[in-house]
Amino acid sequence: MNKAEILIIDDEPQIRKLLEIALESNGFKVWQAETGKEGMVMAANHPPELILLDIGLPDKSGHEILKELRTWYSKPILILSVVNNENDIVSALDHGATDYITKPFRTSELMARIRAAIRSNQSTNTTSTLVFGDLEIDFLARTVKKNNEFVKLTSTEYQLFVLFAKNEGRVLTHKYLLKEIWGLGSQTETQYLRVFVGTLRKKIETNPNQPVHLLTESGVGYRFV
């Protein structure tokens, strides 16, 4: 199999170098762009498997590049962002970014995000069941098992679980989840989401207080792993 190609768009040479070494040692082929403009040209000439985009680029806002890329590029775009900027992250995710990671980040975490993003993009799932550690979902029978025992989910909980299961490893924003499940776009309805995530955790997590599957991304959304 050919090495998957990744395009890095980041103005910091140190970060680019670090990412290059980390990605190459994890079996990826790396292309680099220093500016947003350069990145757009490179992406167009040679569409990569995934784009790592710094949202705080100097020449053009990362958000604009994201919007322009999304007019034609449908593969994963992972946002690199600085911490303390949840609104920025949420806005990027709602405008088509696949996932995000905040600087400073741990390389292992970045690799996990990249793999999850590529996997969910390539997923041509033909089986009717999926397994996540101790959890198993059967889409045909509409059942969920934990440690081989059936878990009784209400219809909303099941819908929520399916949505998470189909986006394993990816962060899903509050807005996205609300729209998909309840058809609501408004941030004010997140109280429903909190309640159902709470009850879902009680059913699928061994210790609901220390969730290992359904993780909270503070101020952004939830991630299922």
Partner 1 sequence: MNLLTIRGLAPQKQYVICIGLILCVSVVCYLGTFYIGYKLVALVLLMCVSILAMLFDILPVLLAAMLSALIWNFFFIPPIFTFQINNPEDLLMLMLYFLIALVNAVLTFQIKKAEKKAREKEEKDNTIRLYNVLLNSLSHELRTPISTILGALDTLKENKDKLSENNQNELFDQIDKASIRLNRQVENLLNMNRLETGMLKLNLDWCDTNELIHSVINKLPETHSHIFQIQPNESLPLFKYDRGLIEQVLQNIIHNAILYTPSNTIIKINSSHRSSCCIIQISDNGPGIPEHEHQLVFDKFYRLPNSKSGGSGLGLSIAKGFVMAHQGTIKLEKSEEGGAKFIIELPVEASYINHLKNE
Min dist CB 54 to partner 1, Å, is 18
The two three-digit tokens of residue 208, written as one number: 């609901």
Q: Tell me the chain's radius of gyration from C-alpha atoms.
A: 18
Min dist CB 216 to partner 1, Å, is 6
Q: Are 53 and 95 in contact (CB under 8 A)?
A: no
Output 143 or 156, the one with its CB closest to partner 1.
156
Which residue carries 């190459």 as its tokens?
24
> Which residues of the shown chain bind partner 1 in the complex (CB under 8 A)?
83-84, 86-87, 104, 154-157, 174, 187, 190-192, 194-199, 209-210, 216, 218-219
In this structure, how many other beta carbons lie within 10 angstroms of the beta carbon of residue 86? Answer: 15
Min dist CB 172 to partner 1, Å, is 15
Output 23 or 89, the one with its CB closest to partner 1.
89
The candidate with the shortest Cα–Cα distance to 97, out of 50, 40, 144, is: 50
Output 128 or 216, the one with its CB closest to partner 1.
216
Min dist CB 31 to partner 1, Å, is 28
The two three-digit tokens of residue 180, written as one number: 């998909």
Output 44 or 82, the one with its CB closest to partner 1.
82
Q: Say how far apart CA 200 and CA 188 lie, in whole Å.
A: 20
Amino acid identity for residue 92 in this structure? A
**E strand or H helix that includes residue 8:** strand 5-9
Min dist CB 69 to partner 1, Å, is 27
The two three-digit tokens of residue 173, written as one number: 């924003």
Output 43 or 90, the one with its CB closest to partner 1.
90
